[in-house]
Amino acid sequence: MNERLRQIHHHFEPTDPITDPSRIDDQVVIITGAAQGIGRAAAVLLARKGAKIAINDLDKDKAEDVVREIRQFQGEAESFAGNVLDEEFPPRLVESVLQKWGKINCLINNAGFCHDSAIHKMDEDKFDIIMKIHNYVPFRMTRALSTHWMDLAHRDMPKTIINVSSTSGLHGSMGQINYATAKAGVVGLTKTIASEWGRYNARANAVAYGWIDTRITRPPNDSEAMMLEGQSIRLGIPENAKKWRNISDIPLGRPGSAYEAARVMLFLASPLSSYITGTCIECTGGRFM
Ligand SMILES: NC(=O)c1ccc[n+]([C@@H]2O[C@H](COP(=O)([O-])OP(=O)(O)OC[C@H]3O[C@@H](n4cnc5c(N)ncnc54)[C@H](O)[C@@H]3O)[C@@H](O)[C@H]2O)c1
């Protein structure tokens, strides 16, 4: 084994048997869309494991609630509210986090929503905004990290990207031609980052969630519609979406919780997965196996 390999193995295999590989002490993590749902659960969970969390979301008040929750247990977090769809926002977010903490170890591209229509009613604007939020934004966030992560001085620093896909992307989904296309794109994006940036010691993985109980899978509530790029985006899956809500389709017989979803992110962010890159883990309770 050459000297470089020996160093790497030593780095990932501490001789101290009580070192907990689920700890990510002092690592700086950016989570987009972290004011609620899966992103919020990941923010709290990763902060409890020692990370410093940059909480991004459109919803400034809810983002600040998450910061307060984390600070209550002496965790470290800061709100960086704003719309990731604005083209200038991703580099600004990366720059602000670097100014605050001096480094970035993990990026979780989680912000997202659906904007459903049957194929014949799907217009270009609805298609575009879904491609932007699920493909352009993770791409821009990743590109914004290039200078920091490709710097040889940061060669041995832990670096990992977690992108959020969906069973819609892996298997298709009625009424979601935009979302299914974009979530399939997430997998190609992730594998390309893993291929190109392995040499910088950076990992990239995706998680394809099935039915996780959050705002976007509960029945629609008009008060929660979002106005983005001149479009009103109505969140939620109708109560009568029988095929989708059929739990007999799910071997575990229930939807997953946001914390169960977030635990996969912790696994991918931590040394538990230090030799895993370029994968897409399905977190679905067994649906579509
Ligand atoms: N819930 C599920 O069953 C499920 C399944 C598969 C994939 N996903 C994906 O998981 C991710 C998280 O979704 P969730 O279920 O937690 O939904 P959620 O609605 O609870 O949370 C999404 C968060 O993203 C934020 N957000 C949306 N657009 C944003 C923007 N332009 N800029 C900044 N923040 C923005 C929202 O304000 C919200 O707080 C999404 O990418 C979603 O597509 C969810």
Is 83 near ligand 1, meaning CB less than 6 Å away? yes
Q: Ligand 1, closest atom to CA 84?
A: 32
163 pLDDT more than 70? yes
pLDDT digits (tens, 9 = 90+) for 204-245: 999 999 999 999 999 998 888 999 999 999 999 988 888 889
Retrieve residue 177's tokens.
Answer: 């031609």
Query: CA nearest 262: which of 93, 51, 13?
Result: 51
How far, in Å, CA of 206 to CA of 217, rounded?
20
Over residues 36-88, the pLDDT tens digits come to 999 999 999 999 999 999 999 999 999 999 999 999 999 999 999 999 999 99
Q: Is 35 in the pocket of ligand 1 (CB under 6 A)?
A: yes
Q: Tell me, what's the pLDDT at 130?
A: 98
Name the 3-class secondary structure at 210: coil
Pocket lining: 212 vs ligand 1, CB cutoff 6 Å:
yes
Say if 6 falls within a structural domain.
Answer: no
Burial of 248 (0-12, 13-18, 19+ CB in 10 A): exposed
Q: What CATH number did the domain enclosing 228 receive?
A: 3.40.50.720
Asked whether residue 3 is assigned to any structural domain, the reply reads no
Q: Which residues are catalytic?
A: 179
CA–CA dist 221, 266 (Å, integer): 30
> How far is ligand 1, taken at its centre, from the CA of residue 35, in Å?
9
Of the ranges 7-11, 74-78, 123-127, 203-207, which one carries the lowest mean pLDDT score? 7-11
Instruction: Check pLDDT > 70 for residue 1.
Output: no
Query: Hey, CA dihedral for 224, 230, 231, 232, is it positive or negative?
Result: positive
Give a yes or no: residue 169 inside a domain: yes
| Alpha carbon of 33 to ligand 1 centroid (Å) | 6
70 CA from centroid of ligand 1 (Å)? 20
Kindly state whether residue 125 falls inside one of the protein's structural domains.
Answer: yes
Residue 99, burial from CB neighbour count under 10 angstroms (0-12, 13-18, 19+):
exposed
In a domain, 14, yes or no: no
Residue 14 has pLDDT above 60, yes or no: no
Taking CA atoms only, the protein residue closest to ligand 1 atom 38 is: 33
- Residue whose Cα lies nearest atom 2 of ligand 1: it is 212
Q: For 170-210, write each residue's pLDDT tens digit.
A: 999 999 999 999 999 999 999 999 999 999 999 999 999 99
- What is the pLDDT at residue 221? 87
Is the pLDDT assigned to residue 11 strictly greater than 80? no
Relative to the CA of 168, which ligand 1 atom is closest? 6
Give mean pLDDT, residues 118-147: 98
143 pLDDT band (50/70/90 cuts)? very high
Residue 66 lies in a domain: yes
In the numeric block, which tokens belong to residue 79? 């709100």
CA–centroid distance, 275 to ligand 1, in Å, is 28
The length of the chain is 289
Domain count for the chain: 1
* pLDDT over 70 at 115, yes or no: yes
Domain that residue 144 falls in: 22-283
- Of all residues in the chain, the percent with pLDDT exceeding 90 is 88
Instruction: Determine contact, residues 129/117, Cβ cutoff 8 Å.
Output: no
Nearest to 214 by CA among 42, 38, 66: 38
Measured between alpha carbons, how far is residue 102 from residues 14, 91, 95, 256 in Å? 25, 15, 9, 35
